[in-house]
């Protein structure tokens, strides 16, 4: 289970906003607060589907641990002690089967033999991966087939190994997946995409080769646009799953980061942007953990002191959040400014890092970042 960020209830939004978000079942507040019901003694996630109590019977906490220490017990329906987006225990046999053989062609009867309800499985994958289980499984098979083709296998061999009964059926499925025929995509890199649970909610990560190319909050509205940009920038195909080494490393380092045991990430990164954007992102990487800068500070550092607004736009276009720390950029007066993941997440990240409210410091840090 991922470590929980070290924050306090004092960092919560105003109570009126908490009540509004809870009563509306607003999933964007996942990881921002926990709701505890005084009449039942139970605490829940913001979007718990259970019947809502009267607002006067509700208390709010920053973390599940705080609610536990206050004497409340976790809801059995929304399971607030489990990381959001993590695979539930009942799904473990299927997840293990997928990882053991990504090319396997699953049928509903296979799920039933594992003691799983196909409808329940489809519902979970639709919620957490924006596709049904069968679409997810098909994407995994096609990505695996492309990998074999890129390694020199014949299309016919890859098609049958992927469970297709004919090459034409494989070609049709591949065109829907990649937008081109298998041979035309032979040299295209594959971006392995997976969800990662954090104390601030589910996030989506993508890696190409041994480098991280995308890391965003799963509920961010810009996420579909980020995937389109990713495909254009790298000429890649996005495929779910894959459990790449870089994503495994990212999970380990995030756990340490949120536990307060890691200050600098060593996950290899690769970004592509305009020369101006890349200069801004490199400047962000030079902001030490626990320190903040203003947009004007960044503009001066890159030699463009009048380009404060352009710096703010480039900051917002960062597609590897937390590791390229755009959250460390605040207003010149020390106040929080816009953040794609939400201002409350930005505040949480600064609290985890122990950053002061105002910009300070000038130390330089280095990280493994590949440009272009």
Q: How far apart are CA 354 and CA 369, in angstroms?
A: 24
Residue 324 phi/psi, 5-degree rounding, is -95, 100
Tokens of 247: 């994503």
pLDDT at position 187, please? 65
pLDDT at position 175, please? 64
> Which structural domains are found in the chain, ordered by start?
9-74 (3.40.10.10), 89-178 (1.10.10.60), 189-372 (1.10.10.10)
Terminal-residue alpha carbon distance, the chain: 35
Coil, helix or strand for 300? helix
Residue found by looking up tokens 């046999």 in the block: 93
Q: Which residues carry out catalysis?
A: 326
Q: What's the mean pLDDT when you consider all of the chain?
A: 79
pLDDT at position 158, please? 66
Give the Å distances, CA to CA, from 359 to 95, 137, 202, 311, 348: 45, 47, 29, 16, 17
Tokens of 196: 């990662």
pLDDT at position 84, please? 61
Does residue 7 have a pLDDT over 60? no
Q: How far apart are CA 8 and CA 62, in angstroms?
A: 6
pLDDT at position 215, please? 93
Does residue 357 have a pLDDT over 50? no
Give the sign of the dihedral formed by CA 134, CA 85, CA 343, CA 252: negative
349-367: average pLDDT: 55
Coil, helix or strand for 1? coil
Q: How far apart are CA 138 and CA 155, in angstroms?
A: 17
Does residue 249 have a pLDDT over 80? yes
Q: Poorest-confidence range of 6-15, 298-307, 336-345, 357-366?
A: 357-366
* Percentage of the chain modeled with pLDDT above 70: 78
Among 102, 183, 194, smallest CA distance to 143 is for 102
Strand intervals (E) in the chain: 34-37, 42-44, 58-61, 73-74, 190-198, 201-208, 211-217, 237-240, 269-271, 293-294, 329-330, 369-371
Is the CB of residue 308 less than 8 Å from the CB of residue 299? yes
pLDDT at position 277, please? 94
Q: How far apart are CA 369 and CA 264, in angstroms?
A: 13
157-176: average pLDDT: 65
Three-state SS across 126-159?
Answer: HHHHCCCHHHHHHHHHHHHHHHHHHCCCCHHHHH
pLDDT band of 362, cuts 50, 70, 90 = very low
Give the Å distances, CA to CA, from 92 to 99, 112, 349: 11, 14, 31
Does residue 85 have a pLDDT over 60? no
Q: Poorest-confidence range of 35-44, 192-201, 238-247, 294-303?
A: 238-247
Tokens of 101: 């053989």
Number of residues written out for the chain: 372
* Percentage of the chain modeled with pLDDT above 90: 27
251-257: average pLDDT: 93
pLDDT at position 185, please? 59
Q: Helices 133-150 and 167-178, interaxial angle, to 10°?
A: 100
Encode pLDDT of 9-30 as tens digits. Answer: 445 778 888 899 888 888 767 7
316-332: average pLDDT: 92
pLDDT band of 308, cuts 50, 70, 90 = very high
Does residue 205 have a pLDDT over 50? yes
Does residue 236 have a pLDDT over 80? no
Encode pLDDT of 182-193 as tens digits. Answer: 655 566 777 888
Show Cβ contacts of residue 168 under 8 Å, excluding neighbours closer than 6 positions: none
């Amino acid at each position: 289970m991922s470590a929980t960020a070290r924050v306090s209830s004092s960092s919560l939004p105003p109570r009126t906003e908490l009540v509004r978000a809870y009563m509306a079942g607003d999933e964007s507040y996942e990881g921002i607060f926990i709701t505890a019901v005084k009449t039942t003694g139970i605490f829940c996630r913001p979007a718990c589907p259970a019947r809502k109590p009267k607002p006067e019977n509700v208390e709010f906490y920053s973390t599940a641990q705080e609610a536990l220490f206050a004497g409340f017990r976790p809801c059995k329906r929304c399971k607030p002690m489990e990381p959001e987006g993590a695979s539930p225990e009942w799904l473990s046999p299927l997840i293990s089967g997928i990882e053991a053989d990504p090319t396997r062609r699953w049928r509903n009867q296979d799920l039933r033999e594992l003691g799983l309800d196909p409808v329940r499985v489809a519902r979970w994958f639709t919620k957490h991966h924006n596709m049904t289980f069968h679409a997810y499984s098909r994407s995994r098979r096609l990505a695996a087939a492309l990998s074999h083709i890129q390694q020199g296998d014949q299309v016919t061999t890859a098609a049958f190994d992927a469970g297709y009964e004919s090459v034409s059926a494989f070609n049709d499925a591949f065109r829907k997946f990649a937008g081109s025929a298998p041979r035309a995509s032979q040299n295209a890199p594959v971006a392995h995409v997976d969800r990662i649970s954090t104390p601030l909610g589910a996030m989506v990560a993508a890696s190409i080769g041994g480098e991280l190319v995308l890391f965003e909050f799963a509920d961010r509205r810009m996420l579909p646009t980020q995937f389109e940009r990713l495909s254009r920038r790298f000429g890649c195909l996005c495929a779910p799953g894959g459990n790449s080494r870089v994503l495994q490393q990212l999970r380990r380092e995030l756990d340490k980061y949120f536990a307060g045991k890691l200050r600098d990430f060593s996950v290899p990164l690769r970004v592509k942007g305009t020369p101006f954007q890349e200069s801004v992102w490199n400047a962000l990487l030079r902001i030490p953990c626990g320190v903040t800068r203003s947009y004007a500070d960044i503009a001066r550092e890159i030699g463009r002191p009048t380009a404060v607004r352009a710096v703010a736009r480039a900051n917002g276009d960062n597609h590897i959040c937390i590791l390229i720390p755009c959250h460390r950029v605040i207003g010149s007066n020390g106040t929080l400014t816009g953040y794609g993941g939400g201002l409350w997440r930005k505040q949480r990240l600064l609290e985890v890092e122990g950053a002061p409210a105002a910009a300070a410091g000038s130390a330089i840090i280095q990280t493994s970042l590949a440009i272009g």
